Amino acid sequence: MGIEEKPSTNVTRKEPLDLGMMRTIFAADRTLMAWIRTSFTFLGFGFTIYTILKALQDSGKTFPHENTPRDLGLFLSVMGIFSILLGTIDYWWTLRDLRQIQTFRYFRPALIMALVMSVFALFLFFGIVTRVI
pLDDT of residue 129: 79
Q: Do 110 and 32 meet the contact criterion of CB atoms below 8 Å apart?
A: yes
Residues 6+ apart with CB under 8 A from 33: 110, 113
Q: Which residues of the chain have pLDDT under 70?
A: 1-17, 104, 106, 132-133
pLDDT of residue 126: 84
For residue 49, give Cα distances in angstroms to 29, 35, 44, 57: 30, 21, 8, 12
Task: Give the integer Cα–Cα distance in Å for 29 and 34.
Answer: 9
- Model pTM above 0.85: no
pLDDT of residue 4: 62
Task: Give the integer Cα–Cα distance in Å for 30 and 116.
Answer: 17
pLDDT of residue 25: 87
pLDDT of residue 106: 67
